[in-house]
Structure 1
Amino acid sequence: MAKWTPKHEAPEPLEGPVVATITGGTVLWFVLFLVQLPFYGWFDDHGHLWWVWTCLAGGGLGLIGIWYVRGRDAALKRHAAAREAAASR
């Protein structure tokens, strides 16, 4: 059996407004949770109560995601600044 080798280099990861994207998604999850709260009884009667809790879990995990991507973004900026300072010496 032959070992698989890539035929080309992997592309660089796309960098964009990651913090804004995660924040927007987190806000959306919380809004969906709040919109579903008035219909809690209906969801419970029809066996779809997990929809409500999924939105709350998505919002909670989004808060962790915001914390993570903000730290990652700060680390990338620190690394770029250190590299620039080292190159200017």
Structure 2
Amino acid sequence: MKRTDDIADRIRRLADPRPILAIGTALWAIAAVVVLLSGDRWDSALPVCVAGIAVGLLGSALFLLQRRAARRGRRGAQVGLG
């Protein structure tokens, strides 16, 4: 049973989107800081960095809303987010 529990725990950990959302948003924020510090050369990349941050925050917010709805037992919530 130990091996089965170990595999289930590993699958659960790999399926969790929170670390990926946090890392991706942080990388976009770092890229935005680099673009701001580099001056005029990369000025056109700043809107892309801001859009990446916005998408990461939106994805995090949607995940948290769906997880809260799943924990409350709402009918339209996704399954398996608890």
Q: TM-score, normalised by structure 2?
A: 0.60
Task: Spell out, residue by residue over 1:59-86, the C-alpha distance to the aligned partner (whole angstroms, 9 max, x if none).
Answer: 012111111111122233333xxxxxxx
| Percent identity for Structure 1 against Structure 2 | 25
User: Which consecutive residues of structure 2, in runs of 5 or more, have no partner in the other structure?
Assistant: 1-10, 74-82
Q: How does 1:1-89 map to 2 (within 5 A)?
A: 16-44=15-43, 49=44, 51-79=45-73
Rounded to whole Å, the distance in 1 between the matches of 2:53 and 2:21 is 10
* Alignment partners' CA distance in 1, 2:32 and 2:24: 12
Counterpart residue type for residue 36 of structure 1: V
Runs of at least 5 residues in structure 1 that lack an aligned partner in the other structure: 1-13, 80-89
Residue in structure 2 matched with residue 87 of structure 1 by the alignment:
none
What TM-score do you get using the length of structure 1 for normalisation?
A: 0.56
Asked if structure 2 preserves the Cα contact closer than 8 Å seen for 1:26 and 1:63, the reply is yes
User: SS where residue 42 of structure 1 aligns?
Assistant: coil
* Aligned residue-pair number: 61
CA RMSD of aligned residues (A): 2.0
Pick 1 or 2: higher relative contact order, CA cutoff 8 A, min separation 6.
1
SS at match of 1:70: helix
